[in-house]
Amino acid sequence: MIHPTAIIHPDARLAPEVTVEPYAVIGEHVTIGRGTVVGPHAVIDGWTEIGEENQIFHSAAVGGRPQDLKYKGEETWLRIGNRNIIREFTTLQPGTVTGDGETTVGNGNLFMAYCHVAHDCHVGNGVIMANASTLAGHVMVEDHAILGGLSAIHQYTRIGAHTMVSGGSMVGQDVLPYTVVSGNRASSSGLNVIGLKRRGFSDELVRTLKKAYKILIRSGLRLAPALEQIERELPMSPELQHFIAFARGAKRGICR
């Protein structure tokens, strides 16, 4: 159903079963998949590709010009997957030619009211960004991370899988997978044990990750020897391999 007050460019591509509510605006280069609902007064613009069964609430701004003074109107993209919930006044912006050229959002994410995802960010699957949490440019957020309300993530920072960023945190370095961080500037306060168990991690795996965390964060060792000790002493699993690879890939340092 498309409300007669909605303004839709004739070249926009809307699949069957898309709902567009009153006074929404959809631009020329927009593609929207089956079953997506665009709420009243929402604006979807730019080169934006939206998948199926997304819910975009009223006054969300999706695909507008990135807030980067170097952007001069080039064709850059915002690509959004399926079954995302984008609440009121959330802003999601495309990439830039000086970055990756696209911003990507996976499947099943929740962006609560007033969230901001800046240019060249990459958000995985099952991520929750609570009210007014903010990603600066070039941020990567892995699957099932949770960002508390009013938290802010510095540009080029990575947020690991299954992490919890406490509300109001200012994050300036990478957040290791499976951990909890808080504060300004954010520091690590332990493993996200409750979150891991809710996601079905076994007790044995949680114990192993806790040991790896203690070696890396609490032992006082530098990064390289700490990771070598983890590889030498602990039973390897895909989750632990990801923990190690993520730490080795840190360019801004890690929250400790």
Task: Give the whole-angstrom CA distance, residue 201 versus residue 184.
Answer: 30
Counting the structural domains of the chain, the total is 2
Q: Residue 215's domain is classified under what CATH number?
A: 1.20.1180.10
Domain region containing 210: 196-248
- Contact between residue 191 and residue 179 where contact means Cβ atoms under 8 Å apart: yes
Looking at residue 160, its pLDDT comes to 98
Looking at residue 234, its pLDDT comes to 98
Looking at residue 166, its pLDDT comes to 98
Q: One of 29, 116, 119, 154 is an active-site residue; which one?
A: 119
Same domain (yes/no): 135, 201: no
Q: How far is CA 87 from CA 11, 155, 157, in A?
A: 26, 23, 24
Report if residue 207 sits inside a domain.
yes
Query: Domain boundary residue among 106, 122, 141?
Result: 141
Report if residue 205 sits inside a domain.
yes
Reply yes or no on whether 137 is catalytic.
Answer: yes
Q: One of 63, 137, 160, 195 is an active-site residue; which one?
A: 137
Report if residue 146 sits inside a domain.
no
Helix (H) or strand (E) holding 248: helix 238-248
Q: What is the pTM of this model?
A: 0.97
Report if residue 104 sits inside a domain.
yes
Q: One of 120, 126, 154, 160 is an active-site residue; which one?
A: 120
Reply yes or no on whether 68 is catalytic.
Answer: no
Query: Domain boundary residue among 141, 161, 178?
Result: 141
- The number of beta carbons lying within 10 Å of the beta carbon of residue 220 is 6
Looking at residue 188, its pLDDT comes to 96
Q: Note every long-range contact of 197-202, with CB atoms under 8 Å and residues 24 or more positions apart, other chains counting.
A: 199/144, 199/162, 201/239
Q: How far is CA 230 from CA 76, 86, 173, 189, 205, in A?
A: 41, 39, 21, 19, 14
Ordered mean pLDDT values, 10 residues apiece, the chain (256 residues): 97 97 98 98 98 98 97 98 98 97 98 98 98 98 98 98 98 98 96 97 98 96 97 98 98 95
